Amino acid sequence: MDIVQSQAAPKTRERSPAVVVRRALGTGARYALVIGVALLFLFPWIWLASTSLKAPQQILQIPPRLIPNPVMWINYYYGVTYINFFKYLGNTLIITSAVIIGRLISCSLVAYSLACVQWKGRNILFAIVLATMMLPAQVTMIPIFIIFSRLGWINTFLPLTVPAFFGDAFFIFLLRQFFLTIPKELTDAARLDGANHWNIFSRVVMPLSRPALATVIAFSFIWTFTDFQGPLIYLKDRDLWTLSLGMRGYLQRYGAGGGTAMGAMMAAATLYTLPMIIIFFVAQKTFIQGVVTSGLKG
């Protein structure tokens, strides 16, 4: 707090001691608040990590201890062996990559038609995109399930991946907003040089849109990797489960209390969460930009 005080003081315009003290108190209160709220946000994470390293008898201890003793690293071994963790991880990654590829291709094409091609009907299509963003997914869930079950696609990854190749309103919107910021002179110059739309799309617009495409990748990853309801409806066969279903497997087998498997369950939960945290740190700017684009300009 001393450092803060000495830095805050010179900035004050009036130098009377009373004002200096008041400002310092203000700064102190400010940091106290920020740190207090940060602790509220942090503590569940700490509790997750702490429980994942505790021995069964310590998990049942009252009052609970923060620091595990002994530190049970073996919970992480149990965590990935009680359920078929790596199998589920593999399944989840297959689905997630397919969704990302599908969305990158389809959403950028559609967004290009909305942002860079002057065609009759694009306003209607854009209105549909906006309306779809407001539509609860539950409304179409049942007929889509029936279509996929008629196709014999239950217990395959297809219902979870194929729709991504037909666009997604949110990401089309996001990419359209970005494409509109590309200077028109660039695309016009390319057109004067005789480039057609495909050339402009693939050589001008796409290379300039890496940040927006990164946003599509980052959000698609997070949402698909953690999706629960989709896999729950379509994947009955245990060998096809994703990690979210695998984690539910713990609840089914050991109950909400986790019993003896609590440490293992928390260890698996920690591992499941880790990719999200890594992605966020790698692509923090991308995420924030994406959220801001979707909300502020909408």
Residues 197-256 that bind other proteins (CB under 8 A): 197, 201, 222, 225-226, 228-229, 232-233, 243-244, 247-248, 250-251, 256
Stretch that binds other proteins, among 17-25, 69-77, 80-88, 289-297 (CB under 8 A): 289-297
Minimum separation from the CB atom of position 7 to other proteins (A): 9
End-to-end, the C-alpha distance of the chain in Å comes to 41
Q: Of these, 72, 129, 216, 261, which contacts other proteins (CB under 8 A)? A: 129
Kindly state whether residue 63 participates in binding other proteins, applying the rule CB under 8 A: yes
User: Does residue 119 interact with other proteins by CB under 8 A?
Assistant: yes
Q: For residue 70, is the peptide bond before it cis, meaning its omega torsion is within 30 degrees of 0?
A: yes
Among 130, 137, 186, 282, binds other proteins (CB under 8 A): 137
**Closer of 71 and 128 to other proteins (Cβ):** 128
Report in angstroms the alpha-carbon separations of 171 from 94, 108, 132.
20, 8, 12
Contact 158, 234 (CB under 8 A): no
Which residue in 172, 235, 261, 264 binds other proteins (CB under 8 A)?
172
Region binding other proteins by CB under 8 A among candidate stretches 38-46, 81-89, 93-101, 175-183: 38-46
Sort 243 into a burial class: Cβ within 10 Å, 0-12 / 13-18 / 19+.
buried
The dihedral through the CA atoms of 294, 181, 123, 219 has a sign that is negative
Site membership for other proteins, residue 34 (CB under 8 A): yes
* Of 203, 204, 222, residue with least CA distance to 282: 222
Could you tell me the smallest distance in angstroms from the CB atom of residue 63 to other proteins?
A: 5
Q: How far is the CB of 155 from other proteins (least distance, A)?
A: 14
Omega into 63 within 30° of 0, i.e. cis? yes
Least distance CB 220 / other proteins (angstroms): 14
Q: Report the C-alpha gap between 155 and 149 in whole angstroms.
A: 9
**Interaction between residue 120 and other proteins (CB under 8 A):** yes
Furthest C-alpha separation in the chain: 80
Smaller CB separation from other proteins, 32 or 71: 32
Q: State in angstroms the smallest separation of the CB of 166 from other proteins.
A: 3
Question: Is 163 a binder of other proteins (CB under 8 A)?
Answer: yes
User: What would you report as the CA-atom Rg of the chain, rounded to the nearest whole angstrom?
Assistant: 25
The total number of residues written for the chain in this structure: 298
Site for other proteins in 12-31 (CB under 8 A): 30-31
Residue from 164, 272, 166, 280 nearest 218 by CA: 280
Contact range with other proteins by CB under 8 A, out of 12-20, 79-87, 136-144, 209-217:
136-144
